[in-house]
A and B are shown apart, each in its own frame.
Chain A
Amino acid sequence: MEFLLICATWIENAGRFLTLEDEFVRASVLGAVLLGLNCGALGSFLVVRRMSLVGDTLSHAVLPGIVGGYLWNQTKDPVAMLIGAIIAGVIGTMLMNAITSTTKIKSDAAQGIILTVFFAIGVCLISLLPPGNKGGVDRFLFGQLAAVSAQDISWLSKATAITGLSCLLGYRGLLVLSFDPVFGRLCGLPMRFLHYGLMLLTTLAIVVAMESVGVVLVSAMLVIPASAASLLTQRLHWLILMAGAFGVTAGLLGTFLSFVGDQPTGPMVVIAASGIFALAFGFSPRTGLVTGWWSAYKWNRQVEMENDLKSIYRHWEDQHGEESSDAQAHAFSPNEFVPLKKLRSLQSQGLVEVSELGGDRWKFTTRGLAAAQRVVRHHRLWELYLSRRASYPADHVHDDAEKIEHLMDDDQARRLAEQLGNPTCDPHGRPIP
């Protein structure tokens, strides 16, 4: 009963969400979409440049700037806070570069230093604020997507527009920066300028997004959609578009789930993004985990099927020898090599059928015979090739041929046969079908 009530609430909430009748639902959906688009697209550059954690670093490092902007005139003036954050972000980026270039400290440690020390300074500055003034700053840390104001939306859309415009205008430069900055410098492209421009855009994206999802979760939006997209494509423009799309999807899905289940929005958006990532990780056509298992399974099935057909064929060949020109007419029974179970599975694939002779006799279908002959032909051609061209002794060629017979295609087999002068017998004296 209680469960039904909960379900009813969920459905009611879902209805309210989908009709977009509430003002704040519209605002938070718009906010999530813009945020996902902006962070997703920018994140693809970070992921490609192996700087994914720079987002995390910058999102913590801007804290003193935000508080400083707040201290500037003691009001929550978004422009002052934004300027402060950007100054802090730029100083952080420059210090990071300076540390890695003047000392033997590696970039990961340099990021860690900037992240924690800047964050600590920010926390100290917060505590200097007069009591009662800390609310606005607190929101930067945890975010409240449900309480996005019209002003936040306008900031988010401006930032997204700037990102989109810069990506369009500077696409070539950013492409070179992402994959081969040394080449870019040799070409005379302003690599340093592009790098700092990208960091500036990232800082901007972080600051305007922080209101909505909070410090930690904004770095998630920079990394997760872009990582998911990077599993699916290797071309930069597709990566950017897909990462943006994933970000938008995660934003929509996350706000929906959080509204329906009455959960905090920021973490829910991240969980939605992780869900998308998990799908990409599992089912990416080329590198997916499940896709890999599935193709391995299919391959094993295929090999097993071909081996079964081959052993039936060879058994049948032993029994009947050369006198049988019409192979299909000759039936065979289940035996220890090919038990009834396997015959049934081959039957379901339309490769063998029950013979009309009756009495548990089976025969190949036309398709089955062709498939069996094909495997045996590949096997014996390879054996012949190995013994003639690679001078393998005749008793060593079988195991190798067992593997290659499944991989060879018809064209290769034809060329092999041509090279060997269209032979009729393998090294063991068996006929090549």
Chain B
Amino acid sequence: MSAMILAEGLIPPFHLQRFLRDPWVNGAWENTMWILLLSVLIGLCCGLVGNFLLLRRMALTGDAISHSVLPGLVLGYVIFDSLDPWVMIGGAAVAGVGAVMLIELLHQKSRLKTDAATGVAFTTFFALGVLLIRRFANQVHLDVDCVLFGRLEFTVFDTMDTPFGPMPVSVVKLLWITLGCLLLLALFYKELLITSFDAGLAKALGLPSRVIHLGLMTVTSVIVVASLESVGAVLVVGMIIVPPATARLMAERLPRLLILTAVLVVIGSLLGTHLATWLNTPLAASIMAASGAVFFLVWMITWLKKFR
């Protein structure tokens, strides 16, 4: 099949020098730099919470949150009549945490298992969101396409003035959120570590597991929303799951997991950006596909190592 695609001229022939050089020559390099910075920031935030979600076996809660924030986004717009990103983030965080609490309610008050409860809650929220978008379509400048796939390549054009010269709005936003996440991580490292690895010990030590859990969910919602316009609802889940899962193949201890995740994020973003320039494919999807390829490579290497 790939031969046919090649023959049709859909895939440009591979040219190593062009593949490596194109994103960085002439006028492209500044743009590439911002895109790379943005995707690395998104990857760092997502990978950070993703490590904890993975340890808690809540990987698909990330998926649920990323779909559930949709009605919150629209209602935030409609109620506050504002395009301010912080309003969006607030509305979405409320919706995300609401969905998580609904999942827990469904799970606790009936004999429904967590996976079914998750499926019921997030699809309902998403359907509500789509209906709300259609209902307020003339007021809300939310593009369903953008929410699903993201537009990493366009978000960097929307710049604002900062003390360091003009910077893309989304980069500034993500910088603040990354700083916030790192601060929270530094402050609550011990609590997060213990509640994630050993819920029983956390209880015995009297740690407020419930508060930490809801806090983690809130932070996840905030990160998901902040990344949504850039990478879309589906690929943000990949950002949350894939790099931490790749790191899990190589390490056991949390500090090493976190560092490896960061390295993997940088590698995935770099590879993805080059892939996108070569094939002219959407950036976010290319970065995700590249991260998937890295996962596959690491998986194969660890697997082959077993036979040695």
Rounded to whole Å, the gap between the CB of B137 and the closest CB of chain A is: 11
**Cβ A120 vs Cβ B112 within 8 A:** no
Query: Are A227 and B116 in contact (CB-based, < 8 A)?
Result: yes
Number of residues from B at the complex interface, CB < 8 A: 64
Kindly report which residue of chain A lies nearest to residue B303, judged by CB atoms.
A102
Chain A CB within 10 Å, residue with most, of B130, B245, B295: B130
- Could you say which interface size class chain A belongs to? 35 or more
- Roughly how many angstroms separate A219 CA and B60 CA in the complex, as a whole number? 14
> Which candidate, A122-130, A354-362, A425-433, is the interface stretch facing chain B?
A122-130
Asked whether B130 lies within 8 Å of A264 as measured between CB atoms, the reply is: yes
Within 8 A of A (CB), among B48-76: 54, 57-60, 62-63, 67
**Could you tell me the dominant secondary structure of chain A's interface residues?**
helix
Question: Does A81 have its Cβ within 8 Å of any Cβ on chain B?
Answer: no
> In angstroms, how far is the closest chain A Cβ from the Cβ of B61?
9
Q: A108 — which chain B residues lie within 8 A by C-beta?
A: 57-60
- Tell me the B144-188 residues at the A interface (CB within 8 Å): 144, 148-149
Contact mask A353-380 → B, CB, 8 Å, 1/0? 0000000000000000000000000000
| A161 located at the interface, meaning its Cβ lies under 8 Å from any Cβ of chain B in the complex | no
Residues A99-136 near B (CB distance < 8 A): 99, 102-106, 108-113, 115-117, 119-121, 123-124, 127-130
> Which of A68, A116, A222 sits near B241, CB closer than 8 Å?
A116
Given contacts A120-B288, A220-B123, A271-B128, contact A112 B149 (CB under 8 A): no
Which residues of A lie under 8 Å from residue B241 when comparing CB positions? Answer: 109, 112-113, 116
Q: Which of B210-227 contact A (CB under 8 A)?
A: none
Q: Does any Cβ of A come within 8 Å of B15's Cβ?
A: no
- What number of residue pairs across chains A and B have CB atoms under 8 A from each other? 208
A274: chain B residues within 8 A (beta carbon): 120, 123-124, 127
Q: Which of B112, B123, B149 contacts A230 (CB 8 A)?
A: B112
Question: In the complex the two chains form, is B113's CB within 8 Å of A50's CB?
Answer: yes
Known: A47-B116, A127-B280. A111 touches B123 (CB 8 A): no
- Do A53 and B115 have beta carbons less than 8 Å apart? yes
Partner of A271, one of B57, B58, B124, B281: B124
Contact between A128 and B281 (Cβ–Cβ < 8 Å)?
yes
Please determine whether B124 and A220 come into contact, CB atoms closer than 8 angstroms. Answer: yes
Q: Is B299 an interface residue (CB 8 A)?
A: yes
Contacts known (A55-B119, A129-B10); A60 close to B234, Cβ less than 8 A: yes
* Chain B residues within 8 Å of A270, by CB: 123-124, 126-127
A251 to chain B, nearest CB (A): 14
Query: Could you tell me if B127 and A227 are in contact, using CB atoms closer than 8 angstroms?
Result: no
Q: Is A281 an interface residue (CB 8 A)?
A: yes
How far apart sit A219 and B284, CA to CA, in the bound complex (Å)? 24
Query: Residue B21 at the A interface, CB < 8 A?
Result: no
Q: Are A223 and B4 in contact (CB under 8 A)?
A: no
Proximity bits, B103-117, A CB within 8 Å = 1, else 0:
000100111110111
CB atoms of B10 and A71 under 8 A apart: yes
Whether the Cβ atoms of A120 and B10 lie closer than 8 Å is no
Q: Does A56 contact B (CB under 8 A)?
A: yes
B279 touches A128 (CB 8 A): yes
Contact mask for chain A residues 242-253; partner B; CB cutoff 8 A; 1 contact, 0 none: 000000000000
Q: List, in ascending order, chain B residues with CB within 8 A of A68's CB.
A: 1
Set A120, A128, A224: member contacting B120, Cβ < 8 A: A224
Across the interface, do B116 and A120 meet the contact criterion of CB distance under 8 Å?
no
CB neighbours (8 Å) of A220 from chain B are: 119-120, 123-124, 126-127
Option from B63, B123, B281, B299 in Cβ contact (under 8 Å) with A127: B281
A121 with B116: in contact, given A105-B249, A263-B131, A287-B111 (CB under 8 Å)? no
Q: How far is the CB of A279 from chain B (nearest CB, A)?
A: 13
18 A-B contacts (beta carbon < 8 Å) = A47-B116, A109-B59, A109-B245, A111-B60, A112-B63, A113-B241, A115-B234, A120-B287, A120-B288, A120-B292, A123-B281, A127-B282, A220-B124, A223-B119, A223-B120, A230-B116, A270-B124, A281-B109
Interface residues of A (CB under 8 A from B): 47, 50-53, 55-56, 60, 68, 71-72, 74, 99, 102-106, 108-113, 115-117, 119-121, 123-124, 127-130, 141-142, 216-217, 219-220, 222-224, 226-227, 230-231, 263-264, 266-268, 270-271, 274, 277, 281, 284, 287-289
The 5 closest A-B pairs by CB, nearest first: A116-B238, A117-B292, A220-B123, A223-B119, A120-B288
Chain B residues close to A by CB (< 8 Å) = 1, 4-5, 8, 10-11, 54, 57-60, 62-63, 67, 106, 109-113, 115-120, 123-124, 126-128, 130-131, 134-135, 144, 148-149, 234-235, 237-238, 240-242, 245, 248-249, 279-282, 284-289, 291-292, 295, 299, 302-303
